[in-house]
């Protein structure tokens, strides 16, 4: 009988809708079909099994987190290189989510929280990103089972990751500790390697530098310390950061310091949009949901970025370790 504890990998193509609009159904459908088939072959070459193809996405399962992480890193590295000369509408990046746990097989399909979590993380991560739960990262500390021998040194030894804190994932009761796996060889060495210790990483009694959040809008700029959280953004004069635009709700959003991260929660009537610097296709819409602020980027309140007049704030997170741009 197969081991029911599996690592699920959900791989999705970003911006496929825009590609269809730009180039037409037939051409883009052919490219997507070839890409998803290639993704499937890569997963199988890394000892994974395809659960199913989902239009512009692939759902795969692995017997170990290390094999899944190796496949995810290889996919990002190879895919990014191969699409570089392609026409811009076809440069659809990969969004990858990983989660481990109990998986139930019924016929040709699979069910369980890891599948739902991996799919959500893929959607939340944005283009060219890999997000994984702590259950996956923890497996990278021990013996790396089911990893092709020639992949261990060439890919997995160079993997770095950083915590994004604890995230409440839509549709999942319990919040999960989420990590971003850095697959680019040029990532900064201040990110923790997979050979480190999760226990040391998460120690609450270890000394730490104070984290700060810089918010800017028009000629207003304010820096908030983690100890000053929570704060509210909105049109109300009682807000810690006031944005006086009619599309902005009186209490539009709240920022809290939760488990070592700044967490933005939308409280508004019309929504909040986020995008991160250097992350093409990373735009995220929040509607009464929350998201972790990391690095730097912009947030549009009450209207999407496509509306050039939307009240748009810039933000920059300084964790004391140089993660912000």
Q: Which of 172, 201, 230 is the last residue of a domain?
A: 201
324 in a structural domain: no
With respect to residue 323, please indicate whether it lies within any of the assigned structural domains: no
Whichever domain contains 275, its CATH number is: 2.60.200.20
Share the mean pLDDT of the chain.
Answer: 80
pLDDT number for residue 75: 94
Q: How far apart are CA 321 and CA 84, in angstroms?
A: 31
Instruction: Tell me: pLDDT of 246 over 70.
Output: yes
d(CA 51, CA 237): 52
Give the pLDDT score at 123. Answer: 84
Residues 37 and 92 in one domain: yes
Q: State percent of the chain over pLDDT 90.
A: 39
**DSSP assignment of 44-56:** HHTT-EEEEE-SS
DSSP reduced 3-state for 321: coil
Q: What percent of the chain has pLDDT over 70?
A: 82
Whether residue 231 sits in one domain with residue 146: no
* Per-residue pLDDT at 240 exceeds 60: yes
Same domain? 21 vs 82: yes
What is the total count of domains within the chain?
2
Give the residue-averaged pLDDT of 260-265: 84
pLDDT of residue 1: 40
What is the pLDDT confidence band of residue 210, given thresholds at 50, 70 and 90?
Answer: confident
58, 155: one domain: yes
The answer to whether residue 60 is domain-embedded is: yes
Task: Please tell me the predicted confidence (pLDDT) of residue 143.
Answer: 52
Mean pLDDT of 295-305: 93
Give the mean model confidence (pLDDT) for residues 189-196.
36
pLDDT recorded at residue 196: 34
**Residue 61 belongs to some domain of the structure:** yes
Is residue 207, in this structure, part of any structural domain at all?
no
- The verdict on 161 and 287 lying in the same domain is no
pLDDT band at 93 (very low <50, low <70, confident <90, very high): confident
- Please report, to the nearest 10 degrees, the dihedral formed by the alpha carbons of residues 286, 292, 296, 302 taken in order: 20
Residue 189 and residue 265 share a domain: no
Q: Are residues 250 and 273 in the same domain?
A: yes
Taking the CA of residue 122 as centre, how many other CA atoms within 13 Å lie in the half-sphere pointing to its CB?
Answer: 27
End-to-end Cα spacing for the chain: 48
Beta-carbon count within 10 A of 215 CB: 21
Q: Taking the CA atoms of 97, 157, 184 and 297 in sequence, report the sign of the dihedral they define.
A: positive
pLDDT at 37: 93
Residue 282 has a pLDDT of: 62
CA dihedral 120, 125, 129, 131 (to 10 degrees): -60
Domain of residue 64, CATH code: 3.30.70.1230
Residue finishing a domain among 146, 179, 201: 201
What does the pLDDT read at residue 194? 37
SS3 158: helix
pLDDT beyond 90 at 129? no
With a cut of 90, say whether residue 154 has pLDDT above it.
no
Q: Is the pLDDT of residue 193 over 90?
A: no
Q: Residue 83: what are its φ and ψ, rounded to 5°?
A: -90, -5
Q: What's the pLDDT band for 21 if we cut at 50, 70, 90?
A: confident
**In the predicted model, is pLDDT for residue 321 greater than 80?**
no
- Mean pLDDT across the stretch 129-140? 88
For 160-186, write each residue's pLDDT tens digit: 777 777 777 777 777 788 888 888 754
What values do phi and psi take at 114, rounded to 5?
-55, -35
Same domain, 80 and 192: yes
Pair (110, 133) in one structural domain: yes
Q: Decide if pLDDT at 118 tops 80.
A: yes
Has residue 218 been placed in a domain? yes
| Pair (236, 125) in one structural domain | no
The dihedrals phi and psi of 11, each to the nearest 5 degrees, come to: -115, 125
Look at residue 206 and tell me if it is in a domain. no
**The dihedral formed by the CA atoms of 175, 227, 211 and 69, expressed in degrees to the nearest 10:** -10
pLDDT reported for residue 158: 55
Task: Determine the structural domain holding residue 223 and report its residue range.
Answer: 212-318
Strand-pair category, 290-293 with 176-182: unpaired
| 71 and 128 both lie in a single domain | yes
pLDDT of res. 217: 96
Shared-domain flag, residues 123 and 71: yes
What is the predicted pLDDT for the residue at 140?
Answer: 79
Which helix or strand (DSSP H or E) is residue 213 part of? strand 212-217
Q: Is 127 inside any structural domain?
A: yes
């Amino acid at each position: 009988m197969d081991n029911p504890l599996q690592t699920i990998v959900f791989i999705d193509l970003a911006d496929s809708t825009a590609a269809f609009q730009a180039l037409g159904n037939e051409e883009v459908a052919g490219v997507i079909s070839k890409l998803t088939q290639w993704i499937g072959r890569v997963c199988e070459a890394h000892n994974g099994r395809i659960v199913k193809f989902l239009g512009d996405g692939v759902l795969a399962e692995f017997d170990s987190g290390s094999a899944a992480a190796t496949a995810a890193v290889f996919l990002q590295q190879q895919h990014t290189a191969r699409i570089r000369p392609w026409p811009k509408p076809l440069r659809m990046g990969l969004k990858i989510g990983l989660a481990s746990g109990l998986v139930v097989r019924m016929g040709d399909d699979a069910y369980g929280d890891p599948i739902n979590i991996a799919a959500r993380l893929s959607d939340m991560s944005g283009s060219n990103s890999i997000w994984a739960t702590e259950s996956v990262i923890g497996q990278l500390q021990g013996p790396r089972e089911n990893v092709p021998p020639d992949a261990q040194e060439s890919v997995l030894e160079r993997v770095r990751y950083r915590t994004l804190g604890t995230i409440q994932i839509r549709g999942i009761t319990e919040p999960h500790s989420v990590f971003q796996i850095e697959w680019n060889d040029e990532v900064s060495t201040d990110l923790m390697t997979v050979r480190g210790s999760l226990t040391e990483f998460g120690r609450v009694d270890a000394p730490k530098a104070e984290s700060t959040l810089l918010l800017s809008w028009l000629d207003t700029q304010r820096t908030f310390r983690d100890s000053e959280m929570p704060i509210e953004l909105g049109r109300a004069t009682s807000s810690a950061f006031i944005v006086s635009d009619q599309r902005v709700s009186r209490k539009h959003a709240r920022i809290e310091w939760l488990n070592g991260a700044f967490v933005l929660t939308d409280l508004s009537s019309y929504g909040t949009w986020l995008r991160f610097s250097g992350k093409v296709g990373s735009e995220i819409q929040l509607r009464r949901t929350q998201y972790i602020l990391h690095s730097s980027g912009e947030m549009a309140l009450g209207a999407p970025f496509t509306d050039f007049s939307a009240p748009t704030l810039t933000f920059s997170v300084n964790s004391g370790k140089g993660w912000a741009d």
